[in-house]
Amino acid sequence: MAGRSDKGEEKVSAQYSLFFIQRFKGKVLFNVPLSEHTSLKIGGPADVMAFPQDEGDLKDLLSFAGAKDFPFFVIGGGTNLLVRDGGIRGIVINMSEGFRDMVWQDNKAVIGSGVRLAEILNHCREAGLSGFEFAAGIPGTLGGAVAMNAGAYGSEMKDVVEGVELIGRKGQRLFMPRSEINFSYRKAELPKGALVVRAHMGFVKRSAEEVREKIRELREKRRSTSAINLPNAGSIFRNPEGTFAGKLIEEAGLKGERSGDAAVSDVHANYIVNLGRARAKDVLTLMALVRDRVYSRKGIVLEPEIKVVGED
Ligand SMILES: Cc1cc2nc3c(=O)[nH]c(=O)nc-3n(C[C@H](O)[C@H](O)[C@H](O)COP(=O)(O)OP(=O)(O)OC[C@H]3O[C@@H](n4cnc5c(N)ncnc54)[C@H](O)[C@@H]3O)c2cc1C
């Protein structure tokens, strides 16, 4: 198994295989490049990537990982991630294939964390439900969007999420109402190691025409500022208080700046694109250069918005 020593330590590959053959219902991949599971198309291998089908699978997986002391990391659509070139040891739990249930009642819904934001938005558009239009053009899954408190144009997930169903790291079920979740800019404080399995959402009833028009308007706005056809992970840096990271980067003359095949987008300066064969180390070098240049020109320290994970 990649990343494990062969000096007499437990044979993790055999252990993994036995568990996965005997109990696990979902798909399992071994030694899989994370570049195949991230929108930036970058990232070294995961020892194991498991796609739990349902809560039973997820609980079994967590208790297996706990018993063996294997680390785990959760991903949804991989659209906000930079995985380092050494990849991720232990188990990557991929929530994008299971947890795809949606139950709608009037202006409320209980939705599985593997559902794509675009699918939820489609339903809202057809049913004339407002409040979620901001998600037009944000890729990824509901679970990732809740964890990131994803948002755009002045709205964010916390405005539509009424509560979340979680599975804790020991396999226990939890429900957290919105009032107990500390949502902040691109962050939801969830119990350490807990996975979102479902979100309870509330929208506002409007006419389908109004909702459609708002979505069209926001899509147009997005197209005019960030029509990017190369692999990327959305905004790389958080917007500092009172200004925009993209504006600072552009004013520092960094559009088009490169490190290897990673480049600051010509279209939107807060996006880094993969021109073909970029590695995580290229993106990290470029991010450091951008931070240094913006700090020396503007005196502002940029903080990453994307999650940087894995080993060098
Ligand atoms: C073209 C483009 C445009 C974008 N525009 C925006 C935008 O306007 N606004 C914005 O906020 N973001 C934007 N993003 C970033 C990204 O799409 C969002 O952050 C999205 O919500 C991430 O969802 P994901 O499923 O891809 O999460 P991932 O990237 O897979 O994971 C993100 C984080 O969430 C955690 N996570 C994932 N699933 C779960 C789960 N089920 N339970 C617990 N934790 C979980 C992961 O561990 C990780 O820390 C954009 C990205 C791209 C590529």
Per-residue pLDDT tens digits for 260-278 = 999 999 999 999 999 999 9
- 248 CA from centroid of ligand 1 (Å): 23
Residue owning the nearest CA to atom 45 of ligand 1: 144
Q: How many helices (H) and strands (E) does the chain have?
A: 7, 20
Which one, of 61, 12, 3, lies nearest residue 32 by Cα? 3
Establish whether 305 is a catalytic residue.
yes
In this predicted structure, the answer to whether residue 207 has a pLDDT above a threshold of 50 is yes
Secondary structure (DSSP) of 252-270: TT-TT-EETTEEE-SS-TT
Beta sheet of 173-177, edge-to-edge order: 102-105, 108-112, 195-202, 161-167, 173-177
What is the number of other CB atoms lying within 10 angstroms of the CB of residue 10? 11
For the segment 53-80, what is each residue's pLDDT rounded down to a tens digit? Answer: 999 999 999 999 999 889 999 999 999 9
In this predicted structure, the answer to whether residue 120 has a pLDDT above a threshold of 50 is yes
d(C-alpha 138, C-alpha 150), whole Å: 8
Which atom from ligand 1 is nearest to the alpha carbon of 226? Answer: 1
Strand pairing class (182-184; 187-189): antiparallel
Domains and CATH numbers, the chain: 12-94 (3.30.43.10), 102-224 (3.30.465.10), 229-309 (3.90.78.10)
d(C-alpha 19, C-alpha 200), whole Å: 32
pLDDT in the model for residue 17 = 78
d(C-alpha 151, C-alpha 235), whole Å: 11
Residue owning the nearest CA to atom 35 of ligand 1: 144
Asked if residue 300 lies in contact with residue 248, where contact means CB atoms within 8 angstroms, the answer is yes
Cα separations in angstroms, 293 against 69, 248, 297: 42, 10, 6
pLDDT in the model for residue 6 = 45
pLDDT in the model for residue 13 = 67
Mean pLDDT of 270-288: 98
Could you tell me the pTM of the whole model? Answer: 0.95
Q: Give the pLDDT band (50/70/90) at residue 227.
A: confident
In this predicted structure, the answer to whether residue 8 has a pLDDT above a threshold of 50 is no
Mean pLDDT of 107-120: 98
pLDDT in the model for residue 16 = 73
155 close to ligand 1 (CB < 6 Angstrom): no
pLDDT in the model for residue 1 = 38
Mean pLDDT of 107-119: 98
Q: CB within 8 A of 241, min separation 6: which ones?
A: none
Q: Give the pLDDT band (50/70/90) at residue 235.
A: very high
Averaged pLDDT of the chain:
94
What is the number of other CB atoms lying within 10 angstroms of the CB of residue 255? 16
d(C-alpha 143, C-alpha 113), whole Å: 4
pLDDT in the model for residue 15 = 66
In this predicted structure, the answer to whether residue 91 has a pLDDT above a threshold of 90 is yes
pLDDT in the model for residue 252 = 97
List phi, psi (to 5°) of 143: -60, -45
306 close to ligand 1 (CB < 6 Angstrom): no
136 close to ligand 1 (CB < 6 Angstrom): no
Mean pLDDT of 96-108: 97
For the segment 140-191, what is each residue's pLDDT rounded down to a tens digit? Answer: 999 999 999 999 999 999 999 999 999 999 999 999 999 999 999 999 999 9
Q: What is the DSSP letter of 96?
A: T
List helix spans (H) across 128-244.
142-148, 208-226
**Which of residues 20 and 65 earns the better pLDDT score?**
65
Q: Give the pLDDT band (50/70/90) at residue 21.
A: confident
Q: Which residue in the list 35, 96, 235, 259 is annotated as catalytic?
A: 235
d(C-alpha 199, C-alpha 144), whole Å: 11
List helix spans (H) across the chain.
12-22, 55-68, 117-127, 142-148, 208-226, 245-251, 280-298
